[in-house]
């Protein structure tokens, strides 16, 4: 598939990223089309989170390029990248634990000026996460793990992103929350939000994704439509338990 022929939201082209003297990403190339869910899977330490942090501008790219709707972002500071329409939900949520649920949501909308738009987005988040509405005045640090993850996703949506980067949304959750989180990811996508999903649960990630990439030791080793990756012997053996 030629990314030049598609409606590309995000195009990562041959990027290299270092942490100090260690080369973490080695020529990674990924593209994400409008309204897709694309899964990035791989073992711990493969470079998945680094890839997301590169897109968000948190870690610098040594060589290569990252474009969002055709505009290079590698020299743009992280807050300006959020303003462009990219929002990241970090691994382990990173909420403001002493803030209420409402205050965390308001922080997610800090770039927006239109009060009507903020209210509409918050109402949508409450439709997605009714429990969050019930906890609106509760300090976020006292929420359960599943409720904190829901709040983290809602906070990420408050900036009205066109591209949502999700880093391990099911990590550490009780089983009763895991299926619910993946259903919510699909619901968000059906509302027109493009999603790049990093996830430890490879089978569920590929089950809801349109396409996927396997990252090994900082390089893409396998890529393709998710329905093909699920049946790929290399992927099954390494990540799907069979």
Per-domain residue ranges of the chain: 1-85+161-172+193-242, 94-160
CB 139 within 8 A of CB 98: yes
CA–CA–CA angle 138, 139, 143 (5° rounding): 80
pTM: 0.93
Q: Could you give the maximum distance between any two Cα atoms of the chain, in Å?
A: 51
**For the domain 1-85+161-172+193-242, what is the CATH code?**
3.40.50.300
pLDDT for res 241: 67
CA distance 153 to 156: 5
- CA-to-CA separations, 39 to 23, 82, 111, in angstroms, rounded: 23, 21, 28
144 and 125 Cβ atoms separated by less than 8 Å: no
Q: Report the distance separating Cα 180 and Cα 175, nearest Å.
A: 9
Local structure of residue 139 (DSSP, 8 states): B
Could you tell me where the beta strands, DSSP code E, fall in 51-111? 63-68, 71-72, 86-89
How many Å apart are CA 148 and CA 128, to the nearest integer? 14
Query: What is the predicted pLDDT for the residue at 229?
Result: 95
Mean pLDDT per block of 10 residues along the chain (242 residues) reads 72 95 96 97 93 96 97 95 94 87 94 89 94 95 91 94 94 85 94 94 93 96 95 86 61
Pairing of strands 71-72, 63-68: antiparallel
Cα–Cα distance for residue pair 145/97, rounded to 1 Å: 12
């Amino acid at each position: 598939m030629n990314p030049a022929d598609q409606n590309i939201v995000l195009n990562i082209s041959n990027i290299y990223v270092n942490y100090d003297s260690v080369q973490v990403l080695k020529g990674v190339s990924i593209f994400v089309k409008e309204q897709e869910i694309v899964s990035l899977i791989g073992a711990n330490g493969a470079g998945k989170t680094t890839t997301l942090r590169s897109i968000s501008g948190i870690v610098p790219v040594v060589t290569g390029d990252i474009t969002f709707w055709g505009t290079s972002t590698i020299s743009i500071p992280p807050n300006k990248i959020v303003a462009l329409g990219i929002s990241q939900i970090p691994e382990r949520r990173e909420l403001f634990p002493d803030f209420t649920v409402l205050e965390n949501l308001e922080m997610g909308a800090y770039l927006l000026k239109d009060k009507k738009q903020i209210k509409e987005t918050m109402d949508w988040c409450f439709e997605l996460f009714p429990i969050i509405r019930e906890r609106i005045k509760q300090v976020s640090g006292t929420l359960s793990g599943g409720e904190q993850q829901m709040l983290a996703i809602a906070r990420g949506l408050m900036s009205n992103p066109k591209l949502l980067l999700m880093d391990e949304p099911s990590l550490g959750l009780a089983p009763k929350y895991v299926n619910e989180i993946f259903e919510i990811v699909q619901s968000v996508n059906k509302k027109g939000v493009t999603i790049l999903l990093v996830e430890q649960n490879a089978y569920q990630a590929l089950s809801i994704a349109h396409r996927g990439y396997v990252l090994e030791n900082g390089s893409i080793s396998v890529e393709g439509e998710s329905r093909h990756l699920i049946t790929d012997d290399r992927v099954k053996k390494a990540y799907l338990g069979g």
